Chains A and B, each alone.
Chain A
Amino acid sequence: MKHLIDIKDLSVEEINNLIEVAKDIISDEKKYSHKCDGKKLATLFFEPSTRTRLSFESAMLSLGGEVLGFSEASSSSVSKGETVSDTIRVVGCYSDIIAMRHPKEGAPLVAAEKSTVPIINAGDGGHNHPTQTLTDLLTIKSEKGRLENLTIGLCGDLKFGRTVHSLITAMSRYKNIKFVLIAPEELKLPEYVKKDVLEKNNIEYCETKDIEEYIGNLDILYMTRVQKERFFNEADYIRLKDYYILNKEKLKNAKEDLCIMHPLPRVNEIATDVDDDPRACYFKQANYGKYIRMALILKMLEVK
């Protein structure tokens, strides 16, 4: 049985295949509406994330399946001190597949070691969030028509933002990808990501503090939020949170077919005057999230 804990668990072929299935679902959603009749998805959210949970639940319901679960630890047995391993062994009896979110890094891997049904990591702290990365890849493929030959700008918190690290890891496996890393000094991409991923794969990249410097070169601009919980010092957070605000003015030199992405929720990183720009893809991105999760559930349940 296969689990999805880390985006690296999937080969490029498997990812491409998931994207193809997702695109087919988008083109004819009806065809898939009974594929998971009688199947149950358990969403075990040990920390709340309404968006991600609803995306999983909506995906399963759209496939004709059913959903059960909990949305925060206080309503589950965890608050009584039960271990992840025990919870998973019990829930496995009630469901065919589990999507799990947990505040502690590595918790879904612990679950996978004990589970009798497939586990999907729906986010473990700031560590992995593979379905976000799959969502990003489907968005890029759908909006740009390709996953090769792209210059990708990543902007904001590149230090703690693991969404960005996973996206870099995933995109590094495609041909002719270049990265522009846009971050303030304190939030620069960690050395180990540069060394272990970018340099190891001979990926071209450059670093800048100025969002406008290379904006005309970009095919994709991926904005991220600076997360308060990553800072020990409130003053640092306040100083850095509004370091980048993308607005219409800053987009004046950008390509006509730029694709602006954001994992959402946003705080101030993208001004609302960008929302009706045709290059803004972040709300579509949320929609793609449901379709890639549908494809993933089908694959993991081995439904043809």
Chain B
Amino acid sequence: MALVKHGKIQEDAWTRIENDSLPLGRPLLLTKEEWCCLAATLRHWEQPLGLLLEGSDSLDDLRPVLDRFRLIALNFPKFTDGRAYSQARLLRKRYGYSGELRAVGNILQDQFLQMHRCGFDSYEVADGKVAEVWAVAIHRYRGFYQSAERGQRREGAATLPVEQPAAAAWAY
């Protein structure tokens, strides 16, 4: 596993609960269930906290506590399971979450752009080599047809006025 963030391989500092013990001194990534059990215990926890969410996890009830998390990781059980795209947009736009948003699980490099546009910042991938294609993927399109977290909808005619069809390209 490698962590790609802004097109670079990065060290993953986050740890998980293992064997029923809370690791001290490192940022801690919790599932929603763990968070629900431990919220009281962690009230004065000083290390950064993160949440690992599944597609079936509701977000509404997390709203009041979202600012406690520096990282939210959204899991893709399969790369064809697109729920996390909607979760990402809700977290960003509706719930105002501004911490790091990470895609984990089964993801393809061909999905970097749409993840980026939905508000993801980092990607846990099987092969670190794909870090190189991230920048290419992000910059492939000069503009988009709809607004999202990144890349707004183009407005207005691009260069060519309506009355004048693109003669060269149009009439071949």
Chain A complexes with chain B: no
B interface residues, Cβ below 8 angstroms from A: none
**Interface residues in chain A, defined as those with a beta carbon under 8 Å from any beta carbon in chain B:** none
